Amino acid sequence: MKLNSTHILLGILIVLAIAGGAAMTVWPSAPASGTQVVEIVPTSAPATANASNQPEARVGVYLSGAVVNPGVYMADAGSRLANVLLLAGGASAEADLTAVNLAAIVQDEDHWHIPERGETLSSFTGLPKPGENAESAAAVQDARRENGEVDLNSADVELLKTLPGIGDVRAQAIISFREANGEFTSVDGLLDVNGIGIGTVEKIRELVTVE
How does DSSP classify residue 43?
-
**pLDDT score recorded for residue 65:** 85
The rounded Cα 11 to chain-centroid distance in angstroms is: 91
Tell me which H or E stretch contains 18.
helix 5-26
- H or E, element range at 139: helix 137-143
Convert the pLDDT of each residue in 47-95 to its tens digit. Answer: 444 455 555 689 888 888 889 998 889 999 999 999 999 999 999 998 8
Reduced to 3 states (helix: H, G, I; strand: E, B; else coil), residue 89 is coil
pLDDT along the chain (211 residues), means of 10: 63 69 53 47 47 70 88 91 93 87 86 80 38 41 59 90 87 92 93 91 90 81
Q: Could you tell me where the beta strands, DSSP code E, fall in 20-167?
A: 58-65, 71-76, 110-114, 150-151
The amino acid at 17? A
* Residue-level pLDDT at 81: 92
CA distance 165 to 170: 8
pTM of the model: 0.42
Domain boundaries, the chain: 55-118, 120-211
- Output the pLDDT for position 84: 93
Q: Is 91 helix (H, G, I), strand (E, B) or coil?
A: strand
The length of the chain in residues reads 211
CA 138 to chain centre: 43
The Cα 107–Cα 115 span in angstroms is: 20
Would you call 112 helix, strand, or coil by DSSP?
strand
Question: Which 3 state secondary structure label does DSSP give 208?
Answer: strand
CATH number of 120-211: 1.10.150.320
